[in-house]
Amino acid sequence: MPDGTHPHGGGWNRVLIEVDDLGAAFERLTAAGVTFRSDIITGMGGRQVVADDPAGNPVELFEPAER
């Protein structure tokens, strides 16, 4: 990960949640105190960001690119 985190047991597999507006979701969750592993990343398939749930498991929020 960009922050130097390396894979480890019990919390490296991630859940993916598709969202319509990643920017708005990121702002709401940040305001609520959610910790993100990086800033929003944009690629060919869309935009994504990974947060940690309360148990430290990664949860990816994904906004697909427009077709």
- Supply the pLDDT for residue 49: 97
What separation in angstroms does the CA of 64 have from each of 5, 9, 20, 37, 55? Answer: 25, 29, 8, 19, 27
Q: Is the pTM of this model over 0.85?
A: no
The tokens for 66 are: 């427009």
* 37-61 confidence digits (pLDDT tens): 889 999 999 999 999 888 778 899 9
- CB 19, CB 64: distance < 8 Å: no
